[in-house]
Amino acid sequence: MIHEPFRAPGPGAPNGGRPPVLDVRNLKVSYAANGPMILKGLDFAVGGGDFCAVIGPSGAGKSTLIRCINRLVEPTEGSITLFGQDVRALHGGQLRRLRRRIGMIFQEFNLVNRMSVMDNVLSGRLGYTGPVRSFFKAFPREDVDRALHLLERVGLQDHVAKRADALSGGQRQRVGIARALMQKPEILLLDEPTSALDPKISRDVMRLIRELADELHVPVLCNIHDVQLALETCNRIIGMQDGWKKFDGPSTGMRKQDLDAIYAMEVL
């Protein structure tokens, strides 16, 4: 049964005729020379008002797509334009500077277990402070204040000094959210951010991300396995199957037959 989804601002078309934040054209990826294509020519754009879910069966290429955007996976063909820059043409310092503008939230949380919650969140500023200042915890006061504010915003103000491995899964993901927002990102990329969480915590986490993205005016591209959760929290859906795009439109416009086409080889 498909419930009424969250009605957020409309997708896609950039506001006021401005170019999209992210523009992907004919994106193809193969992990080996002459190997099978994982992505087979994707085209889509993400505008400033988008909270966009990427759904599809296992093996559709969802994680590969997310990781291509900041070159954690190297595209084989096609173009990725982010903030007006050709991502595939960037290397070294140029690529590092681009990545500072991208917030990543992972399914595995990617926290340093032996570090405190506060230090994990402050590590989101590594791209700006550098490893030496970070080692000596010489963060500017404004960074410390921002970290405290974000920890309060995600409900962890009473866990600042705890080690990350002392937290529950939902709390660990909230630390990951705060860390990503410490970068002051201009886009958020989410790779299965709720797959390790139970259903209630998953909904809490996704609604928190949605609220924070709305407050900070940050577009979101989210690979998510839970179709119902995507329909409830995202204003736009990209449906993938076997490396192809099968659907791209507002979540309010998704029909049962669209889901049947995306998951033709799986039982929902």
The DSSP secondary structure of 122-190, one letter per residue, reads HGGGHHHH-HHHHHTT---HHHHHHHHHHHHHTT-TT-TTSBGGGS-HHHHHHHHHHHHHHT--SEEEE
Q: What is the pLDDT of residue 38?
A: 96
Of the two residues 34 and 159, the one the predictor is more confident about is 159
pLDDT level of residue 78 (50, 70, 90 thresholds): very high
Report whether pLDDT(49) > 60. Answer: yes
In this prediction, what percent of the chain has a pLDDT beyond 90? Answer: 79
Give the residue extent of every domain in the chain.
1-101+185-268, 111-178
Average pLDDT over residues 83-103: 94
Structure tokens at 59: 């093996």
Report whether pLDDT(135) > 70. Answer: no
Report whether pLDDT(98) > 50. Answer: yes
Q: What is the pLDDT of residue 265?
A: 67
Residue among 131, 166, 139, 172 nearest 154 (CA): 172
Q: CA-based angle 189:52:20, to the nearest 5? A: 80
Q: What is the pLDDT of residue 34?
A: 85
- Any idea which fold 1-101+185-268 has? Rossmann fold (3.40.50)
